[in-house]
Amino acid sequence: LELLAQDALIPTRFIFGATGLGSSLDAGCGSPDLQENTQVSVPLWMLKHLHQRCMVEVKLPAVYTERYRRKLNAGADCVSLKNIAPYFYDVGNQLNELLKDVELSTFLARTFKTRYHELISKGLSTMTGEEVLKLSSKLSVEEQQLFEGGHMSMQHMDLWWRGVSTGQDQQGRPGLHPLKRFAEEVAPSAANKQLKLK
């Protein structure tokens, strides 16, 4: 997941010129070198090295700017992160490590909390096929993994409560749900012992 997020493009402004990066980073550049103040997007993995050398000024991708913050604050259902920022949290956290931006950190935490409660938690209780597809079209990769993990846990819990066999016991009989085993084996045995004592 983190490796894929490293390819996210981040807008920057080169504070100094850069030799040999012109055609590599800017297809429209007529020179092999980047000039001072050139604005170009670079992959996240490269940004880290450039930023350490104080060669670039980092600009937040659009999805982290005030415009999208207002949209996301208006409601989790207003923005589909899957299409515009599939690695929204991973990229945002790595940018925050570089920029030490308290507002960005707060925004990421608030967005996750809101979308978890309004989308993921509600989605786990409404599991029709159409609703799942609609929900998945809005989730970032991180949110989708969280949702799928929750969905799988709910399926396992449902099987457990319904007492679906999960194997065989030591005598080779089909495995029993713990509550069924208690009702059919433990409880009657305990009741018989009480009768004998009386």
- What are the pLDDT digits (tens) for 128-149? 677 777 778 888 998 888 887 7
- What are the pLDDT digits (tens) for 15-44? 887 776 766 776 666 666 778 888 888 999
Q: Is the pLDDT of residue 91 over 80?
A: yes
Q: Give the predicted TM-score (pTM) of the model.
A: 0.71
Most confident option among 27-31, 74-78, 108-112: 108-112
Q: How would you classify the pairing of strands 56-58 and 39-43?
A: unpaired
Residue 35 confidence (pLDDT) = 80
Reading the block at residue 108, the tokens are 């990421």
